[in-house]
A and B are shown apart, each in its own frame.
Chain A
């Protein structure tokens, strides 16, 4: 299964979004949170992101979903074509789309495409 890492400036936002995505999928989809700086404050920790990638990597690739700013830059440092890719998508909607696709067994490109669809989701 493709792994998903949610990278946010906020530890709470990342872990709750990951929990939401997991609960909507209803299966053991590998979604990990990497939120907040090393000291728990607002920011991004490359060590947390690397640990999260290692945790969800089952050999099928990993999709990184950053929120903004340093989360995006940190994700870009860890990009590895074909294995660790970034989805440039809304954080919550993208996380859920990606998790649903991953839970359905989609390959890396499929999970990335599903996440990208979240960019055009309309709520009304």
Chain B
């Protein structure tokens, strides 16, 4: 995957977040402060502007710029969290001009580690980690088994969606919803839902691009 792939990933995320904005905000209205959709929409719109204004020349550069922009522009807890995830992913990719699926899988694990370090959440706490952790595992597993990038991204996207849905019965132990205690059960976590959109956008990019030119292990 080259720099262009990562720029298109950001464009796909921006479009998915725009389309899902009201849904995310409704999820957040149930157990949070009803701003997740609008915050992320503002953040990724700013990412699109930043990428257009200062086009990075490496995949890592795209992710670091996206992360730094989210930290500055989102204004809610998802800004530092997603910002750290993208920045740490970008740092893990270094200066490479082209990235393999295995390298991207490792980078996703680095992003997950950054989110865990910053927010202290573990799986089962009803947060974005409940979607991101299974996605990272699924991507690594598929790549290790010899799957091509398209298969790896599809597996990651499915795992993130499943992980997000699995937050419904959970009681939140981290984040704004944790103030609700047992009343947080019965609702999908908005952060896990937006993570599913972000990972799902990766699958969308891979299927949109020609498999012949991108299908590298």
| Number of chain A residues close to chain B: CB under 8 A | 16
Interface of B is mostly: helix
Q: Provide the residues of chain B in CB contact with A45, threshold 8 Å.
A: 72, 75
Q: Does A109 contact B (CB under 8 A)?
A: no
| Number of chain B residues close to chain A: CB under 8 A | 19
Q: Does B176 contact A (CB under 8 A)?
A: yes
Q: Does B80 contact A (CB under 8 A)?
A: yes
Interface core residue of A38, A46, A76 (most chain B CB under 10 Å): A46
CA distance A77 to B77 in the complex (A): 12
A-B contact pairs, 13 of them (CB 8 A): A38-B73, A38-B75, A39-B75, A42-B33, A44-B76, A45-B75, A46-B72, A69-B76, A70-B76, A70-B78, A70-B79, A76-B118, A77-B83
Residues on B close to A: CB < 8 A? 33, 35, 39, 71-73, 75-81, 83-84, 118-119, 175-176
Beyond contacts A39-B75, A45-B75: 11 other A-B pairs, Cβ-Cβ < 8 A, are A42-B33, A42-B35, A43-B75, A46-B80, A70-B76, A70-B79, A73-B80, A74-B71, A77-B71, A77-B83, A77-B84
